[in-house]
Amino acid sequence: MLFGVWHGFAADRVYLYGRRGIKSGEYLSDVQRQFTRFINAKPARELLEDKLLFAHLVGKLTRVPENYLYSDRQRQVIVSDHWHELTACRDPNRKYRLVMKPARGGGGVEISFPTLCSGVVTLADSSMTVDEFHQFVSQRNGYIVSQFIEQSAFFERLYPGTTNTLRVICMRDGSGQPFIARAVLRLGSARSGTVDNFGQGGLVAPFDVTTGVLAEAVDHDASSPRQPRFYAHHPDTGEAIAGEEVPGWAVARDESLRLMREVPFINYVGWDIVMSSDGPVFLEGNNYTGVRLAQSQEGLLRDVRVRQFYERFGII
């Protein structure tokens, strides 16, 4: 523990990165990461931290999930006319999966997945009318209810218990041109519950930005520091991971960079992307992107462009 504190890393990172790796200077420390939240100016931070604002602006540039409801301080607003169509549908064969989550923040915390069918909303083991659901949502401060995006067959096959997302970290070089610093696939597991979050027991598999070919996946329990475990196949489904190519990656890669060019005041972002059968869907952009999953197998600072980026903003 003292070794980690001395070098600016949380205790579990010492196990994940290794002492030799930390001493090499190739890993962005947890202390340094704290200051990355200020790389973007305030307008960009607000855009990325507020999911309603993100959907409103970025949704004009690319595909994002549609937001239906917003609640705060005992008040609720229907933010999409499409919601009325969904709630009016009485076809028992039409089931609409929803996502309910905080409108700000991240980390896969306090997310639930209601289902709407024939005017009845089911959440966990409870069923309620649409009016009762509105009342239920209104009790939650700063929450949104949005469209659930179905992942394509490859990601469903790898692990069907969660939506498995890409995290794509983008930066700008000294001339203002965007580049991808690191891209990883996050996978849920029996340990992570309903989310693919690495910090909650999920897996993360880096992949080659040019080819989209996956490396082994790794898991690492931050709450109980130990050596990381590597998997060529998913430990729960047995599906191959290492050596597989992420379907549609070229489109997602180009779209990630195009968005950076379209929104030039964003200097630094971690895009969260669901790969649907119709292509990439941008769930959100992380202003203060985590680096533990990005550095699970290799330090970010090994890349000269990345090191120069953090140096330019005084992070290292």
CATH code where residue 233 lies: 3.30.470.20
Tokens of 244: 């597989």
Residue 73 exposed, middle or buried by CB count within 10 Å (0-12, 13-18, 19+): exposed
Regarding whether 193 and 255 lie in a shared domain, the answer is: yes
Confidence of residue 109 (pLDDT cuts 50, 70, 90): low
Split into its structural domains, the chain has a count of 2
Regarding whether 130 and 219 lie in a shared domain, the answer is: no
pLDDT at residue 154, rounded to an integer: 98
The last residue of a domain, from among 131, 147, 163: 147
The last residue of a domain, from among 97, 131, 147: 147
What is the pLDDT averaged over residues 71-93?
94
Q: Which residue type does 115 have?
A: T
Regarding whether 247 and 184 lie in a shared domain, the answer is: yes
Is the pLDDT at 113 greater than 70? The verdict is yes
Regarding whether 294 and 202 lie in a shared domain, the answer is: yes
Residue pair 99/108 in contact by the 8 Å Cβ criterion: no
Regarding whether 219 and 88 lie in a shared domain, the answer is: no
Regarding whether 177 and 126 lie in a shared domain, the answer is: no
Residue 6: domain span: 2-62+153-312
Regarding whether 268 and 165 lie in a shared domain, the answer is: yes
pLDDT at residue 220, rounded to an integer: 85
The last residue of a domain, from among 113, 147, 181: 147
Q: Is the dihedral of CA 292, 295, 299, 303 positive or negative?
A: negative
Tell me the per-residue pLDDT of 211-248, one tens digit each, with 9 for 90 and over: 999 999 999 877 766 788 999 999 999 999 999 999 99
The C-alpha angle with vertex 120 and arms to 114 and 124, in degrees rounded to 5, equals 35
Regarding whether 101 and 23 lie in a shared domain, the answer is: no
Regarding whether 286 and 184 lie in a shared domain, the answer is: yes
Regarding whether 90 and 8 lie in a shared domain, the answer is: no
- Work out the mean pLDDT of the chain and round it to a whole number: 94
User: Could you give the dihedral angle defined by the CA atoms of residues 307, 27, 242 and 245, in that order, rounded to the nearest 10 degrees?
Assistant: -20
Regarding whether 133 and 13 lie in a shared domain, the answer is: no
pTM of the model: 0.95
Q: Which of 166, 239, 243 is nearest to 211 (CA)?
A: 243
d(CA 127, CA 242): 41
Q: Is the dihedral of CA 246, 248, 250, 253 positive or negative?
A: negative
Regarding whether 177 and 121 lie in a shared domain, the answer is: no
